Amino acid sequence: MNPKKIYRIILLTSCGTIGSISIGLIFFGTSVFTPGLNFQFAAAGLYGSFFFSLLEFKFLREQIFAAIFILILQLVVFSGKYISFAYAVRDIFYLAGLFLSIKVYHLFIKKNNQLKLFLRVFALSFFYGLINLVFISVVFLINAEFIFPPLGFIYVVGRNAVLIGFGIGLGIDFYFQYKNQLFSLLKIRTT
């Protein structure tokens, strides 16, 4: 792989992750760094931005490998020594919802390239909010033996997904708006 593309992937991933973490910090403070609380702002920001960068630079094989690797990492790190069926279902659906919404968003912005930067972030907020809410509700139904999730749970899941999508989208658009300045600041040659 070309070193320039590696730099671009790293910068794009970093910008999206920082965007998601920043939105999490604004709304929830430092709990975004505590696993089990609002850590999803950091994890989903990293995973989603990385997947978007692979979509942007058209590496299908790497996209599939990354999705499998991230799933295994998620299961091992956040489930601990005892990976149960409930955790596996949760992580598979959670990551599938994230990757599907990033894929839909990527297709949307490619098709609607006339949309202005920093306005299209609302599309990712919508896509991720809706898709994540559906996927997590299905996980709840499966793991709770077909009991519908409470409204408070639905609200929290939807709110966090909208905020995470907004943060990732802001970071991605920041990268596209200022990539030349970022490259020159970091003294990376792109020609």
- Rounded to whole angstroms, the Cα distance separating 20 from 67 reads 19
- Give the type of residue at 42: A
| The CA-based dihedral angle spanning residues 126, 130, 132, 138, taken in that order and rounded to the nearest 10 degrees | 180
Under the banding of pLDDT at 50, 70 and 90, the label for residue 189 is: low
Q: Is the pLDDT of residue 190 over 60?
A: no
Per the CB < 8 A criterion, the answer to whether 164 and 41 are in contact is yes
pLDDT value at residue 30: 93
- Rounded to whole angstroms, the Cα distance separating 117 from 48 reads 18
Mean pLDDT of 157-161: 94
Under the banding of pLDDT at 50, 70 and 90, the label for residue 78 is: confident
Residue with more model confidence, 36 or 141: 141
Under the banding of pLDDT at 50, 70 and 90, the label for residue 121 is: very high
- Rounded to whole angstroms, the Cα distance separating 121 from 18 reads 15
pLDDT value at residue 138: 92
pLDDT value at residue 101: 96
Per the CB < 8 A criterion, the answer to whether 46 and 182 are in contact is no
Residue with more model confidence, 64 or 167: 167
